[in-house]
Amino acid sequence: MTAKRDEIIATTCELLEVQGYHATGLNRILQESGAPKGSLYHYFPEGKEELAAEAIARSGAGIAGHIERALLESDDPAEAVTGFIRALAGHVAASGYRQGGPITAVALEAASTSERLRLACRDQYRGWQALFAAKLRPRYGPARADRLAALIIAAIEGGIILARSERSLQPLLAVAEEIEVLLGG
């Protein structure tokens, strides 16, 4: 991967998270990344949708890495999961409530109109759920671990939306507390 292609994707990741899919125009991506217009179409011949799908994959992989590291912090699933959520709350607050939920904005805006972006978002959510389910499986068994993992992702994503709208980390901290109770921590 070339440095310019990488910069275009990184810029797109940031803009999608902060302002969403529809508000993120190609001209803004070019301006922020410093890339010439021709390079965007060279690296992403299918345009904005292809670029957004790449950015979703990159953002999702970054989040997956954070989840994996957090889940290794403790053998206790409740402690590990809630540790991740509390750290995420700190990240959202530290960003001035501009970051958190990089996939959510695209999923809400474009998943009903773009099959490619719907699948890109779905794949990231499924990957995150699989990480949580793997941590929960020894204690709760496969079926319940899968359901709990889906609930955890839904609660986190909802908590991020509330935290950003209220400009408060309280919704995410409440999610952490209730997940801790649910998991028996």
Q: What is the DSSP string of 109-155?
A: HHTTT-HHHHHHHHHHHHHHHHHHHHHHHHHH-HHHHHHHHHHHHHH
Domain ranges of the chain: 55-182
User: Do 16 and 102 touch, CB atoms closer than 8 A?
Assistant: yes
Other Cβ atoms within 10 Å of 22 Cβ, number = 11
Are residues 154 and 144 in contact, defined by beta-carbon separation less than 8 angstroms? Answer: no
| pLDDT attached to residue 81 | 98
* Per-residue pLDDT tens over the stretch 51-80: 999 999 999 999 999 999 999 999 999 999
Topology of domain 55-182, per CATH?
Answer: Tetracycline Repressor; domain 2 (1.10.357)
Beta strands (DSSP E) in 24-179 are: none
DSSP secondary structure code for residue 86 in this structure: H
Q: Is residue 1's pLDDT more than 90?
A: no
**pLDDT tens by residue, 130-183:** 999 999 999 999 999 999 999 999 999 999 999 999 999 999 999 999 999 999
pLDDT value at residue 113: 92
The reported pTM is 0.94
Our CA dihedral for 63, 68, 70, 74, rounded to 10 degrees, sits at: 160
pLDDT for 30 equals: 93
- How does pLDDT run across 17-34, given as a tens digit for each residue? 999 999 999 999 999 999
| Residue 2 predicted with pLDDT over 90 | no
Q: Residue 101: pLDDT band by 50, 70, 90 thresholds?
A: confident
- Per the CB < 8 A criterion, the answer to whether 102 and 164 are in contact is no
User: What is the DSSP-derived secondary structure letter of residue 46?
Assistant: T
At 97 the pLDDT is 93
